[in-house]
Structure 1
Amino acid sequence: MLSLSQALAIITLLVLGLPARASPLATPPAPAWSGVVSYVVDGDTVRVRPPSGGKPISVRINGIDAPEICQAGGSASRDALMRKLLGQRVAVYGRHHDDYGRLLVKITLKGEDTGEWMVAQGLAWSYRSRASAGPYAEQQRRARAAGLGIFSPSHAVPPVYPAQFRKQHGSCR
């Protein structure tokens, strides 16, 4: 039986649309839809062709922030996501759009949360907000401790959170 705090955590995750893996008791809702990844823009944005065909939909992986494509680690992040998802049928969970019109989603491939995988590999940050370290903070802590990807000690410059990079340098596009 769930405690009151566990039940409230699950309800909060569902209402906010946060990745269900943030709580081990939460289970993802039924997929809103599935489709085939037809293009990988960068480490957190892909285009998914719906099962009925038609124009691919631009989606942004919710809960992560990958390096900008012109930022250190940006190409590696995009390339890894491309190797993982391009041409694959994925499940897409999401209802809300960002300021650029992209659908904010959780993407799973064969049941694996892609956002969680990207952060665990050191290919993206857990998306931080005011008081939160983000849904994948533990995966980020482990990737940093292991020196993976953007957290590798071999980088000439320390990793810069993408929002800070955009503020200093603008968008790469």
Structure 2
Amino acid sequence: MMMPSHFLRAFFLLLTVLARFFVPAAHAVSIAPATSPPDDEHYVVSYVVDGDSLWVRTAGSTQNTHGVRTAWRGKGHGQRLRVRLRGIDAPELCQQHGTQARDALRALVPTGQRVRVTIYARDRYGRAIADVILLPDGINLARHMVAQGWAWDDGGRKRRGLYTQEHRQAVQARRGLFADDGAERPADFRRRYGSCHTGG
């Protein structure tokens, strides 16, 4: 038995209305990145600790809720966050080339420099592990430090890291600390002597 035409028209009208509400929502979910970083904000550099870590501050931002609370210092206006550059390992300050690496990063991001910080995790010292991008230039600080020869890609000797290619090119060109054939990986230095425990 066939349904009256006015029932069919009403049924298709109902489907059209429902589609307007639910299809956009489903589409929005499908195009969202599967692994978006937990935090991505603009900050200002307040202090460079060494070749792979620095303090940044933001005006009026509240503490985030993504597992980096212990990295914050101060309250309200101008809160500070200690950041470790993701994917690299620079010499300890008490290690040979340590102050040179710090000075290279300071020259790139002096106090007051605007940066974008994308936080991925937190290390055992409470530092936010993050990508830091120079504004407005778009320079990735970690990539730059490796490419200029002031830090190692932290992928290690047997696995690729984020900046393996830049590391190899810096070694071949003998840039920065790689001009010294005796330059020691920070991880090896820390195994023998421990960390410098710089607080910033």
- Give TM-score scaled by structure 1 length: 0.78
Where does residue 40 of structure 1 map in the other structure? 48
Where does residue 35 of structure 2 map in the other structure? 15
- Give TM-score scaled by structure 2 length: 0.68
Match of 2:164 among 119, 134, 137: 137
* Structure label with greater radius of gyration: 2
Show structure 2 runs of 5+ residues with no match: 1-32, 61-76
- Structure 1 residue matching 2:35: 3-state secondary structure: helix
2:93 and 2:196 map into 1 onto residues whose CA distance is 7
1:92 aligns with 2:111: no
Task: State whether residues 59 and 79 of structure 2, in contact with CA within 8 Å, keep that contact through their aligned partners in structure 1.
Answer: no
- Structure 2 residue matching 1:142: 3-state secondary structure: helix
Where does residue 138 of structure 2 map in the other structure? 111
Where does residue 155 of structure 2 map in the other structure? 128
1:169 and 1:94 map into 2 onto residues whose CA distance is 29
Relative to structure 2, which stretch is displaced further, 46-55 or 61-70? Answer: 46-55
Where does residue 64 of structure 1 map in the other structure? 88
1:144 and 1:92 map into 2 onto residues whose CA distance is 28
Task: Write out per-residue CA displacement over residues 71-115 of structure 1, whole angstroms, 9 at most, x where no aligned residue.
Answer: 111101000101111220000001310010000000000211110
1:101 aligns with 2:121: no
- Structure 1 residue matching 2:43: 3-state secondary structure: strand
Size of the alignment, in residue pairs? Answer: 146
Identity over aligned pairs, percent = 42
Where does residue 194 of structure 2 map in the other structure? 170
Match of 2:177 among 144, 150, 155: 150
Runs of 4+ in 1 over 4 A off after TM superposition: none
1:15 and 1:160 map into 2 onto residues whose CA distance is 34
